[in-house]
Chain A
């Protein structure tokens, strides 16, 4: 079974600064996907970024980027130029690959607060 660990229950950052959220996972699979989801107070789960394990290049979406270290089973999220609207719970998630998989395994989340 896969496990996802987020070791930082809460973090805070000043507006316009950069913050990194940590995530580690455990799996024996070689083909899988990793995700970061954002859950603002509205409770909507919003996909922030997705990484395919077979790709060595780190995924980037505007101000959001990941540092994917496959050997270390680490998948951290970097938010640059933090904005007040980035305040939310952030969940790291894992999904097996292979075309017939659909279960996401989530970590417990990190509550990020962006301060003005």
Chain B
């Protein structure tokens, strides 16, 4: 059973470009969470999704950021018009049920030049 898969592992973008980060949850998991880790910081919650639904996006910036988890395919975190402050490691986690153990991927390191 493969773990949570994130790609790409590293992503470099210039200011103003779009970044698309992908996350495939563990098999059988329908709950997906995105977290962001800024340098020298712990992970901070961004958004929680179930299949085709955003349940809680309270940690996500109101502008330029969006997330989806379609019926088929991976969850996508999309950042439009990236700025240098978006440079961070973005982690995806999944769980089979709420209030259950979260399994994390290895993250995508986004660097904005």
A residues contacting B by CB (< 8 A) are 4, 37, 42-47, 50, 91, 93, 95, 97-109
Contacts and interface: CB of A to CB of B under 8 A. Distances in A.
Interface stretch (B14-22, B41-49, B65-73, B74-82): B41-49
A47 B98 contact: no
23 contacts: A37-B104, A42-B106, A43-B106, A43-B107, A44-B106, A47-B103, A91-B42, A93-B42, A95-B99, A97-B99, A99-B98, A99-B99, A101-B99, A102-B31, A102-B33, A102-B48, A102-B102, A103-B56, A104-B45, A104-B102, A106-B42, A108-B41, A108-B42
B93 to A, nearest CB: 8
Interface of B: 31, 33, 35, 40-45, 48, 56, 59, 89, 91, 93, 95, 98-99, 101-107, 109
Contact of B98 (A45, A100, A109): A100
Contacts of A105: 45
Given A102-B33, A108-B40, A45 B99 contact: no
Contacts of A108: 40-42
Contacts of A104: 35, 43, 45, 102
Nearest to A96: B99
List the 10 closest A-B pairs by CB distance, nearest first: A106-B42, A45-B104, A103-B45, A44-B106, A106-B43, A43-B107, A108-B42, A99-B99, A43-B106, A107-B42
A32 B48 CA distance: 19
Nearest to A98: B99
A43 B31 CA distance: 21
Of B33, B40, B95, B102, chain A has the most CB atoms within 10 Å of the CB of: B102
Most chain B CB within 10 A, of A4, A50, A99, is at: A99
